[in-house]
Structure 1
Amino acid sequence: MSSISIIGLGNMAGALARRALAGGNAVEIIGRDAARAEDLAAALGGATVGTFGAVPAGDIVVLAVPYAGAAVVVSTYGDALRGKIIIDVTNPVSPDFLGLVTPEGSSGAQEIAEAAPAGAHVVKAFNTVFGHMLARGGPLDVLIAGDDAEAKATVSAFVKSLGMRPMDTGPLGMARWLEGTGVVMIGLGRYGAGSFDFTLGVNTPA
């Protein structure tokens, strides 16, 4: 199993931490608000608490923070993330929920990769899974993208430990389209599906 550090204290962080613990992974919770981090770890049971800005204990570091602050967090950590696999779960969605705020040809994940130190590898994952659906459990599909094959293999093994199926979409440049898929899912929730109680999966009939 994997050693995971989750930076963030919101619903996505909690849902990922619960599934990671249930899958036998070691989980460290990290947040700027140390008291809230302690409370979340206590509620989870079995998670440890790290210090914001210090070297994370996990080999995999999950950025479960809003897009607007994600690259800033990575820059703040600096060399403390050297050699780590960084999972970016963010969706850089515009205020009207109809597009992305990242420049054409780029993505939030690529911005994070630019802010990361040498030797760190960014993998886009979990942004096409709503947090409340992740918390419900079940064999969901997780679309991933990244430039380093070994990092993607490690993330894929982590995803499998959660009882979910990793689906590799290619290099990190594909993250822009995964983030666009997040926009499509929001549109489906607001209009076509009529609720956000759905998941996106890949059907591979025999």
Structure 2
Amino acid sequence: MNITVFGKGNMGKAFGANFEKAGNQVVYAGRDFKKALGDIVVLAVPYGAVEAIIGAHADELKGKILIDITNPVNFDTFDSLEVPADSSAAQEIQKKLPETVVVKAFNTTFAATLASGLVGGKEPTIVLVASDDAEAKQKIKEALEGSLLSVLDAGTLKRARELEAMGFLQISMAARKQFGWTGGFAVIK
């Protein structure tokens, strides 16, 4: 598959490398990206940057799979999320892009666990995905086959709310040095 990643930071590079390892073609995009978008588009940027990207590419995103990895944390206070309590960043994006398939994924993992394929050097890194489109979740799973990562279906896009709360908790605990950025929450099957 052709995958476009908005964001060239640690997260974008870490899961981008996994998509590449699985045989996909990955293009990293910056603010002024003008080329055609891939089959899968990933938002690996701070939540505050999402509006500009989806505004600039709304027409191109129609019919695409859009993976939202953001955790809409209020980084000024580290005390709340910046979306309504009964919603999520992914759901807010879906409202703005009704003809795009939005998937919440990668927000409950750290870059180091994506790069190594292990949480805390012990447990396999499992990517939780939530979407109303089962086919999109399957395509993401297939696009990661042969990488260091496994995919687990977390349910409908409504579950993005819990995934973002989980990501927020994990980030705030790592920031308070309760565990390192190579650790975090692991799914044990």
Secondary structure in 2 aligned to 1:132? helix
Match of 2:79 among 73, 98, 110: 98
Secondary structure in 1 aligned to 2:145? helix
Is the helix fraction higher in 1 or 2?
1
**Separation in 2, partners of 1:54, 1:23:** 23
Q: Greater RCO between the two (CA within 8 Å, min separation 6)?
A: 2
Contact map agreement 1:71 1:111 (CA 8 A) in 2: no
Q: Which residue of 2 aligns with 1:21?
A: 20
Say yes or no: does 1:10 pair with 2:9: yes
**Separation in 1, partners of 2:142, 2:113:** 20
Q: Give CA deviations for 1:149-197 in whole Å, capped at 9, x if unaligned.
A: 1111111222334221111111111101100001111233244733222
Say yes or no: does 1:166 pair with 2:147: no
Q: Give CA deviations for 1:94-136 in whole Å, capped at 9, x if unaligned.
A: 2322321111211100111122252x10000000011122223
Following TM superposition, the consecutive aligned residue runs of length 4 or more in structure 1 with deviations greater than 4 angstroms are: none
Q: Which residue of 2 aligns with 1:81?
A: 61
* 1:102-181 to 2 correspondences below 5 Å: 102-118=83-99, 120-138=100-118, 139-181=124-166
- Distance of aligned partners of 1:117 and 1:75 in 2 relative to their CA distance in 1, 3 Å threshold: farther
Q: Give CA deviations for 1:55-90 in whole Å, capped at 9, x if unaligned.
A: 31x211111111011133112101111111000000
- Distance of aligned partners of 1:91 and 1:74 in 2 relative to their CA distance in 1, 3 Å threshold: same
Contact map agreement 1:129 1:199 (CA 8 A) in 2: yes
TM-score normalised by structure 1 residue count: 0.81
Secondary structure in 1 aligned to 2:188? coil
Q: Which moved more, 1:134-143 or 1:22-31?
A: 134-143
Gaps of 5+ in 1: 34-51
Contact map agreement 2:114 2:149 (CA 8 A) in 1: no
* Number of aligned residue pairs: 183
Gaps of 5+ in 2: 119-123
TM-score normalised by structure 2 residue count: 0.88
Decide which structure has the larger Cα Rg and report it.
Answer: 1
